[in-house]
Amino acid sequence: MTTPASVPGPATVLVFLDPEFENGRIVDASKPQLLATDQGATRGDGVFESLLAVGGRPRKLQAHLNRLAGSARLLELDIPAEAAWRRAIGTAISEYRGQTGPAAGETGDEAAADELVVKLLVTRGVEGEGRPTCWVQASVPGGAGRRQRETGIDVLLLDRGYDSEVGERAPWLLLGAKTLSYAVNMASLRYAHHQGADDVIFTSADGRVLEGPTSTVLLAHLETSDDGEGGVRTVRRLITPQLDSGILPGTSQGALFTAAKAAGWELGYGPLEPKDLLDADAVWLISSIRLLAPVNHIDGKEIGTPELRKQLTAELNALYATIG
């Protein structure tokens, strides 16, 4: 006799921030909840965050709230106070878990480790009303990201078309903000998929390494030298592109750098060129939901060796697991 399939959880839980509901207003995600005139829909005008909750606990919540506030400032959006976001996030997570028990993941495997994607969304609201629309969305992460943590990814370098100093010269491009206008980022991923690759690293018009469409670039260099006493000394260096090159400051990279420094890694911030990636001992794309995805190939060229990638990924995963 076959065991009945477990009852599928709700696809999504939505909680709107609403001054009349202290802990947020839970709505039916299968029904329309936004006005078609909302500028999030008509212009992609707004900001967001995606964070991971594990076992019902959001990770790096303060860093995400800080970045949400920073993005909102850049877009001149007046968003609710942090405490209101925290309460709505709590409501969304407990509502999801209350309906389903621990999140089982798209594939139904317990290895999903009870993970939920929690998105914080802000739009400029309905034209003329001068009030942003804000909500929290909780859902189960797709299986692909979790698999890529294990299998690694093949990446294409794609030109973003801007030079690395444009962020300062043209702040209206909002390059340091996590805006809702991700159509270009998603188009670059589709382009990569059509070429048989999994992901993208953007480069600038002046030849610098920037970021992935949904992730931060990280590379490791190991330098071995004589320790003067007949042994060898290995310096381990973790490097990411410099933050003022028109990229989004990654909360995962930031947290991992703090943990890696405490564990004796040296840290570095670009400028990086594509050849630095190709010469690295390992390269990762790191982000809050997929976490560390080791890069196997860039434009068809293998990065490091499978053994080294595996060893360094395991080491950094162990460090990342210590992050709150």
Binding site for ligand PLP (CB under 6 A): 50, 211, 214-216, 248, 250-253, 287-288
Nearer to ligand PLP, 114 or 199 (CB): 199
Q: Which residue, among 276, 269, 259, 241, has the nearest Cα to 316 in the 3D structure?
A: 259
CB of 69 to ligand PLP, least distance (A): 14
How many other C-beta atoms are found inside a 10 Å radius of the C-beta of residue 122? Answer: 27
C-alpha–C-alpha distance, residues 171 and 46, integer Å: 16
Nearer to ligand PLP, 77 or 126 (CB): 77
Nearer to ligand PLP, 9 or 212 (CB): 212
Between the two ends of the chain, the Cα-to-Cα distance in Å is: 43
CB of 93 to ligand PLP, least distance (A): 18
Peptide bond into 271 cis (omega under 30): yes
Nearer to ligand PLP, 125 or 145 (CB): 145
* Contacts of residue 63, Cβ cutoff 8 Å, sequence gap at least 6: 251, 254, 255
Specify the amino acid at residue 214. Answer: T
* CB of 316 closer than 8 Å to CB of 253: no
CB of 211 to ligand PLP, least distance (A): 5
C-alpha–C-alpha distance, residues 201 and 158, integer Å: 6
CB of 288 to ligand PLP, least distance (A): 3
* CB of 240 closer than 8 Å to CB of 269: yes
Nearer to ligand PLP, 104 or 265 (CB): 265
Q: How far is CA 40 from each of CA 18, 35, 180, 289, 300, rounded to the nearest angstrom? A: 17, 10, 7, 23, 38
CB of 178 to ligand PLP, least distance (A): 6
* CB of 26 closer than 8 Å to CB of 91: yes
CB of 209 to ligand PLP, least distance (A): 13
Nearer to ligand PLP, 126 or 248 (CB): 248
CB of 127 to ligand PLP, least distance (A): 27
C-alpha–C-alpha distance, residues 41 and 125, integer Å: 9
C-alpha–C-alpha distance, residues 45 and 118, integer Å: 20
Nearer to ligand PLP, 104 or 156 (CB): 156
Nearer to ligand PLP, 120 or 126 (CB): 120
CB of 196 to ligand PLP, least distance (A): 22
Compute the CA torsion angle 70, 76, 81, 87 (nearest 10 deg): -80
* CB of 216 closer than 8 Å to CB of 252: yes
Nearer to ligand PLP, 113 or 235 (CB): 113
CB of 250 to ligand PLP, least distance (A): 4
